[in-house]
Chains A and B, each alone.
Chain A
């Protein structure tokens, strides 16, 4: 399997007559974009689009998902399979990437489940999406009493459509850079690098229930048994976030597309280990599912003869139980583990960080304490609804001050404690 990512480096955004890319500038025909999104009868009349650039005094909130514009220009299938396109397998051929650009979906959904992105100031240091040139969609349902599942679907689809549309509009151009990724057949992978340990990646996805969900080829991941996936399929959008959960540690679609654990493991493949397989698994709420999925995921790892796995979690609280089950069962099968999680240690950092633990989890990296409090100064411009600061997870009644500053836990900042490890934040013990 071979995938070529052809990257156009987006350095700036502007609204213009024609959607297209030249000299680092992505021009967007706003009317065309809005018309495309408005095709969905679930979405209301007052849809808007805006742009936000790194360093600007702009606050975007509440943000639901972040998506990197991609479009398949050669090979089977199309990006976001099972969502935007047919269910055909992806991960081969050539895919165009508008690197440095992101589509943000914003709007009121379930009110307390979305995040803040500040494009400058102290908050900007905590979110990776203050460094991207952002196209923001401000969405609303066509019927205020619309079923929330339907509205979530509409918002999710709007983001994906916009991302695909932007990238598609730039196809045919000479790429600024090209990255080639290749994954051998498992048979060949097994026979290569005999001197190196065989390793894999257990990729845990949030699946607690509708609005806390993730999709794989369009399938609701809570209904799958853990399965194998090629990292190259992930890069083509096989995994899509449908999450409305705490903003800091939900894995955005953007972070799935650019999963830094996968890219780092690919970098070290053939040097420090033989990266053989990626196993996706879920985080369901019933204990039977948790036991089944952890047994099955680790069984797959054992069947492949893996010597070690990196395990990443999504979310906190009951997913900690899944993380610990995956860790313990792997170690019991003789598979060494390294864990990537984040912490909910309280505002003072003195509480127990995880809701579950096991002594086998002796190699654990954390993306920081999500409860640490931060003050975000007022921004000149707000895209979205700033008053939501008082109700979003990580905020409280009074989080938004009269002067426009917001005092919240990092939990409220999109991607602040990414458990795919997409930030440099971490924690240590005083």
Chain B
């Protein structure tokens, strides 16, 4: 069962199945880690985005909720991510002014959007808009 784990409330509300984490980006990662330990598989990289932890108050990870023994790839990724977030200064959502908060939430949502669509997690399943400027869609290599 695909599921989003996030501390980004706005994103959480637009998703069909999500666990909202009322806490920091690190809290999200730790929560994901617990799920991985009990068998869930990570579907999106827990460090997506190109910002340091001190610039990333929101984190969102899509998992496939399963039980069983831990998946090594998922485990390596989440442990690495937790270590990186633990050794950095964190930025808490409540420390930010509204404008910055909106920017950060926006980037987080944008980074997840494509993946949420792929795993059919967006509510009311808005059709993905054409992200290319000029060429026809037939050029795209579609993935199922």
We find that the number of chain B residues with CB closer than 8 angstroms to chain A is 46
A173 CB within 8 Å of chain B: no
B68 CB within 8 Å of chain A: no
Q: Are A286 and B50 in contact (CB under 8 A)?
A: no
Q: Which residues of A contact B84 (CB under 8 A)?
A: 352, 355
A110 to B111, CA, bound (A): 13
B77 CB within 8 Å of chain A: yes
Q: Are B110 and A211 in contact (CB under 8 A)?
A: yes
Instruction: Render B5-40 as a binary contact track against A, CB cut-off 8 A, 1 for contact.
Output: 000000000000000000000000000000000000
Q: Are A208 and B131 in contact (CB under 8 A)?
A: no
Which of A112, A153, A355 has a CB less than 8 Å from the CB of B133? A153
A217 to B112, CA, bound (A): 24
Indicate whether A210 sits within 8 Å of B110 (C-beta atoms), given known contacts A317-B47, A396-B54: yes
B123 CB within 8 Å of chain A: no
A84 nearest CB across to chain B (Å): 8
A287 CB within 8 Å of chain B: yes
Indicate whether A393 sits within 8 Å of B77 (C-beta atoms), given known contacts A112-B55, A351-B87: no
Q: Are A286 and B140 in contact (CB under 8 A)?
A: no
Q: Are A211 and B107 in contact (CB under 8 A)?
A: yes
Indicate whether A316 sits within 8 Å of B50 (C-beta atoms), given known contacts A82-B132, A212-B111: yes
Which of A208, A215, A396 has a CB less than 8 Å from the CB of B50? A208
Q: Are B48 and A285 in contact (CB under 8 A)?
A: yes
Instruction: Render B105-144 as a binary contact track against A, CB cut-off 8 A, 1 for contact.
Output: 0110011111100100000000000011111000111110
Scoring B76, B87, B113, B139 by chain A CB atoms within 10 A of each residue's CB, the highest score goes to B139
Which of B44, B74, B87, B132 has a CB less than 8 Å from the CB of A219? B132
Q: Which residues of B contact A300 (CB under 8 A)?
A: none
A64 nearest CB across to chain B (Å): 14
Q: Are B132 and A286 in contact (CB under 8 A)?
A: no
B100 CB within 8 Å of chain A: yes
Q: Are B113 and A209 in contact (CB under 8 A)?
A: yes
Q: Which residue of B is nearest A209, CB measured?
A: B111
We find that the number of chain A residues with CB closer than 8 angstroms to chain B is 55
Scoring B52, B77, B83 by chain A CB atoms within 10 A of each residue's CB, the highest score goes to B52
A315 CB within 8 Å of chain B: yes
Q: Are A287 and B42 in contact (CB under 8 A)?
A: yes
A245 nearest CB across to chain B (Å): 4
B70 nearest CB across to chain A (Å): 15
A48 CB within 8 Å of chain B: no
Scoring B45, B48, B55, B106 by chain A CB atoms within 10 A of each residue's CB, the highest score goes to B45
Q: In residues 43-91 of chain B, which contact A (Cβ within 8 Å)?
A: 43-52, 54-55, 62, 73-74, 76-77, 80-81, 83-84, 87-88
Q: In residues 313-328 of chain A, which contact B (Cβ within 8 Å)?
A: 315-319, 321
Q: Which residues of A contact B77 (CB under 8 A)?
A: 287, 321
Q: Are B140 and A219 in contact (CB under 8 A)?
A: yes
A267 CB within 8 Å of chain B: no
Interface stretch, picked from A1-9, A21-29, A222-230, A268-276, is A222-230
A355 to B47, CA, bound (A): 9
B103 CB within 8 Å of chain A: yes
A317 to B141, CA, bound (A): 26
A290 CB within 8 Å of chain B: yes
Beyond contacts A112-B103, A318-B47, A391-B100: 18 other A-B pairs, Cβ-Cβ < 8 A, are A110-B107, A113-B107, A148-B110, A208-B49, A209-B114, A210-B131, A217-B139, A218-B134, A225-B141, A246-B51, A286-B43, A290-B45, A318-B49, A321-B45, A344-B52, A346-B87, A351-B87, A355-B80
Can you show 27 pairs from A to B with CB atoms below 8 A apart? A82-B134, A110-B103, A112-B51, A149-B110, A209-B111, A210-B110, A210-B113, A211-B110, A212-B50, A212-B111, A213-B131, A215-B132, A215-B133, A218-B133, A218-B135, A219-B135, A220-B132, A224-B140, A224-B141, A250-B50, A286-B115, A321-B45, A321-B47, A346-B87, A355-B80, A356-B76, A396-B54
| Interface positions of A (Cβ within 8 A of B) | 82-83, 86-87, 110-113, 148-149, 153, 157, 206, 208-213, 215, 217-220, 222-225, 245-246, 250, 285-290, 292, 315-319, 321, 344, 346, 351-352, 355-356, 371, 391, 393, 396, 411
